[in-house]
Structure 1
Amino acid sequence: MSQVLPPIPPSQPAPPVPPSFPPPSPGWAPPHRRPRRAGFAVAVLTGALLVGGGAGLGGAALYDAATGDGSGSGGTSSLPVVDNGNRPAASGSVESVAAAVLPSVVALDVRGSGGEGSGSGVVLDSEGLILTNDHVVTLGGQIPADQAEVTVSFNNGEKVPATVVGTDPLTDTALVEVDGVADLKPVTIGKSSNLDVGEQVVAIGSPFGLDATVTSGIVSALDRPVEVARDAQGNATAYPAIQTDAAINPGNSGGPLVNMDGQLVGINASIRSTSSGQGAESGSIGLGFAIPIDEVLPIIDQLRAGDTPTHARLGIQVSDVAGAAGSSDATLSGARIAEIERGSAASDAGLRQGDVITAIDDHRIEGTEALIATVRSYRPGETVKITYLRDGKESTTELKLGSDG
């Protein structure tokens, strides 16, 4: 069973969760930049980066000294050089996408009583509204969002303080706002539902504090169940993630994933790590995950209106199952109903304790994470068809999803 994703410092391989939540499992890590006070593992990697940087600079200095003629002219060579000038970027190229989107991407530095860290964000409107991750502004759940001291750095080098408008831990979404910044360029918002597996995408952000870093890849999978948080009772929540092999690293959290038209289709939120120890560092291994923008837009509207975000719910507690419900098929998978709330959407639709949910509409349910992520992709009040097994017999029922609001 997959475990929780983002909300802890990115130097840790597990996702960040509020302190009252149970600790997340190893192997997953939010890609926001490591806090500067994150302990030995961070110090080791930072030291390695500093040594590497120093070596690179030293090497360049030695090269200049060895090849220079003392004349001070560093731009000449006896070798033939072809200068084609700066060619215009081809439409639909990574270069053209970067040129269009970079002015909309920002870096966020966050301070609070729990330490400090940073991540990325994207400008939503000309008034200064910026979208990022909840785990960026709360330092992985270490501080309340309203106590975060946020500084936003724009692509032109301007730095201004920002105010947290609101957050939604269940979708790892946060809005911050800046005032008095002229000539903001809002990102163009696309539809994540139009994405196809194999489609090229571009990720932009500030991995390891390297602002305005552009990487590209493809959509590796869609609707990948990825845990993002657990509540105080230990109940998991997940979202149907966009999986990409575009390099995503600590510091990319909150930054945009865009299609080749330069349209925002996802918010980079987490990565898969090969590390599992508390002191281990994580980096890109070609398994990055973004929150689909279609799932985020309703939350943005509620946050900017000052409302508490709402989410669809069935009103059940579930567990993973294999070869269950009296079926002779040992390969059967699904989510078994362990508890059901009286008066909930599931109860009113006739579902019972022990039923095994195998599909919601045309989405296969292979376990608890898939169920949670699929329900999260709907809004309260929407009608869905539930396919389930009871005593080895498959049945369907329709229900109107409830709300946690």
Structure 2
Amino acid sequence: MAAEALKSTVTLYVKGRDSDGVGSGFIFDKRGDILTNAHVVAPAANGGKIEVKFSDGVRRQAKVVGAAKGYDIAVVKLDHATTMAPTALPLGNSDTVLVGEPVVAAGAPFSLDGTITSGIISATHRPVTTGESSSSPSFLDALQTDAPINPGNSGGPLLNDSGEVIGVNSALRAATEKDAGQPGSVGLGFAIPIDQAVWVAKTLIEHGKPVYAQMGFLCNTAFRGQGVQIMQKRPHREPPVTPGGPAAKAGLKPGDVILNFGGRPVTGPSELKGALWSHHPGEKVRLKFTHDDRIRTTTVVLGEHRGDF
């Protein structure tokens, strides 16, 4: 299974004007489109170059079809037609992934292409925010794994024991001095669920830009209570709840606190955004919230936002 997975796993060498990097990706459709992370191809955004290295050592130039920073997903396409016929990896169902099941991660950690690591799924629906220092962080509703994931694994496939892709490796949690004072692997890697990744990729191929689900309200990031509070006052002349938007139609008001989204408790804005973006525009989602200190429920029909924020 590992040998078959590596045939369709590629290494991306990305060079930009100010930075460069190495990441991974994999063939995910019959046209040979390559799925990877947005942060992997980010250096090529302004006139940079992408070189794709296949498992047999062949290298080809490529370009970005589209990238979604919020989802941390990008699609890459080879510049010219090729006689190569790489096989797309079979796709699994990330909604059926269970904690404890074995997984394999493929990619190029520390530029060591053709690397396989193994482990288990250690958690699902893990809220993860990446790129906090940038103006466009990613909010992941992630699969958590203890399979070793290191720099260079980003964009590579996370596979189940049937060889099906269930996630796109995206982030890691490394030990620091605050973690008991001993650096090293802490067994925490995170992957974007494949169901979400493929939907985003198909949207990028069709439209060239991402589409996000949205609710139409502003979060109070200074709120320290349980849940996510809608802003109480109008900041910078922008209404806390967008008139006629999904939240307004669902009956949400300034100052309301969202406690549960789609059957899942939410404790902060990042967690809510990760859960929100795991849904598609037009979906109906059940909410539990407090209004005037009373717990209420409602259903919101999600709106859409085209393009990155």
User: Quick check: TM above 0.5?
Assistant: yes
Runs of 4+ in structure 1 deviating by more than 4 angstroms, as ranges, are 229-232, 234-237
Structure 1: how far apart are the matches of 2:13 and 2:184?
Answer: 20
Decide which of 125, 146, 149 is 2:29's aligned counterpart. 125
Quick one: distance in 1 between partners of 2:115 and 2:138? 30
Residue in 2 that maps onto 1:163: 63
Given the alignment of the two structures, is residue 188 of structure 1 paired with residue 93 of structure 2, yes or no? no
Report the 3-state secondary structure (helix = DSSP H, G, I; strand = E; otherwise coil) of the residue aligned with 2:127. Answer: strand
1:182 and 1:111, CA in 2 relative to 1: closer, same or farther beyond 3 A?
A: same
Code of the residue aligned with 1:138 in structure 2: it is A
Q: Extract unaligned runs of 5+ from structure 2.
A: 232-239
Deviation (angstroms), 1:305: 1.8
CA distance in 1, matches of 2:214, 2:131: 16
Q: Which residue of 1 aligns with 2:229?
A: 336
Cα offsets for 1:83-107 (capped at 9, x unmatched): xxxxxxxxxxxxxx20221101010
What amino acid maps onto 1:98 in structure 2?
A: A
**In the alignment, which of 177, 182, 195 is matched to residue 77 of structure 2?**
177
> What residue in structure 2 maps to residue 303 of structure 1?
204
**Cα drift, residue 230 of structure 1:** 6.6
Match for residue 108 of structure 2 among 193, 201, 206: 206
How much has 1:208 moved relative to structure 2? 0.5
Match of 1:290 among 187, 191, 198: 191
Identity of aligned residues (%): 38
Deviation, structure 1 residue 383: 0.6
- Provide Cα deviations, 1:95-133, integer angstroms capped at 9, x if missing partner: xx2022110101010111012211000012343211111
| Residues matched between the structures, number | 291
Which of 270, 276, 279 is equivalent to 2:171?
Answer: 270
2:10 paired residue number:
106
Distance 1:126 1:158 in 2: 19
Residue 150 (structure 1) aligns with: 50
SS at match of 1:285: strand
CA distance in 2, matches of 1:362, 1:221: 17
Give the TM-score of the pair, scaled to structure 2: 0.88
Does structure 2 conserve the Cα–Cα contact (< 8 Å) formed by 1:108 and 1:119?
yes
Bigger Cα displacement from structure 2, 97-106 vs 298-307:
298-307
Larger radius of gyration: 1
Could you give the per-residue CA deviations for residues 212-239 of structure 1, whole angstroms, max 9, x where no partner exists? Answer: 110011111111111135798x685512
- Contact 2:70–2:137 under 8 Å retained in 1: no
Normalising by the residue count of structure 1, what TM-score does the alignment of the two structures yield? 0.68
CA contact (8 A) 2:141 2:192 kept: yes
Between the aligned partners of 1:236 and 1:128, the Cα distance in structure 2 is 28
Render the CA deviation track for 1:292-336: whole Å, top value 9, x for unaligned: 1111122111211244221101111224655x4xxxxxxxx2111
Post-superposition Cα deviations, 1:158-211, rounded to whole Å, max 9, x if no partner, equal 111112111111111111112304131111011110101111111010001111
- Does the 8 A contact of 1:334 with 1:367 survive in 2? yes
Q: Higher helix share goes to which structure?
A: 1
Higher relative contact order (CA 8 A, sep 6+): 1
What residue is the counterpart of 2:219 in the other structure? 318
- Asked if the contact 1:244–1:288 (Cα under 8 Å) also holds between the matched residues in 2, the reply is yes
Q: Which amino acid aligns with 1:169?
A: K
What displacement does 1:284 show?
3.7
Q: Does the alignment pair 1:222 with 2:115?
A: no
Per-residue displacement from partner, 1:354-378 (whole Å, max 9, x unpaired)?
1110111211112212111110110
Q: Which runs of 5+ in 1 are unaligned?
A: 1-96, 325-332
CA-CA distance at 1:289 after TM superposition:
0.5
Distance 1:138 1:162 in 2: 14
Asked if the contact 1:217/1:247 (under 8 Å) is kept, the reply is yes
Distance apart, 1:276 and its partner CA: 8.0
Q: Is the 8 A contact 1:125 1:184 kept in 2?
A: no
SS at match of 2:211: coil
For 2:19, the aligned partner's letter is G
